[in-house]
Structure 1
């Protein structure tokens, strides 16, 4: 997954943006000259948006930028959608939950709890009074190249969607063809 349109120099914040999804790309137009995109944007994640407030950051890193986008609806004080790209292990996801990458694969961890993340199924976590669905969207480990120094840290892209009061289950990705 790739996020474009963010600056490593200053964080981004805007009110009254209306994200759109077309052809598997989430587009957030801030001004006619500045648009943030997230691609690919999976069909099982939200596809329709009302007016939103956005906060976004890009942190430079030797292995590539670490991006984060938070969306919240006008009346809410807290985000309902969090998106991360290029996140290394120990990155914050939701509340106290942090990414982990033991040998067995990605997970989110808090205290003694560890919940596996899988590309084909969401993981439900509780942060404060809210329940969240966390999706592993992409992962990468740079391959070593002889004679070239590289950052050998695993990276993940993820999304977390806060469940509404009436929602019991996380929307699941479609099953892989057999």
Structure 2
């Protein structure tokens, strides 16, 4: 779906499809180097990280295990509720493994902080974070993201896995959602 098919739903594109793919390729090269010879498992955070997990993993030049979790601190709104819930847990044992969480966006930090601690408590050797987007101005909890695609302003964005009421995930770019749709 391209921008013209969306009418006035998107105020502007923040990160283009080409920018996303180029950056994921760069991040994959760094991860290849950083985890060479190590037992790495990617943990994608559903549903938002589906696009990033698929594209990022294809850029890796190594074998990698993948698993998924679904956690949420959002309801149907545009702001975090502050309560993290596990909706789908891992199928794999991560005891003694290097875990790289793949996430769509680091916003308040609440979800990723909780998730990092949760995975470490399960005996992971290490837990690092790769996020496509980070909103530095929105952080309420400090989370160290080892790999960051793009820093963006604190605006409500959709596309490339990010949704509003389960819509817009399939956009190949990331754009600011028009306020008239949610205010």
* TM-score past 0.5 threshold: no
Q: TM-score, normalised by structure 2?
A: 0.27
Higher helix share: 2
Q: TM-score, normalised by structure 1?
A: 0.28
Higher strand share: 1
Greater relative contact order (CA < 8 Å, ≥ 6 in sequence): 2
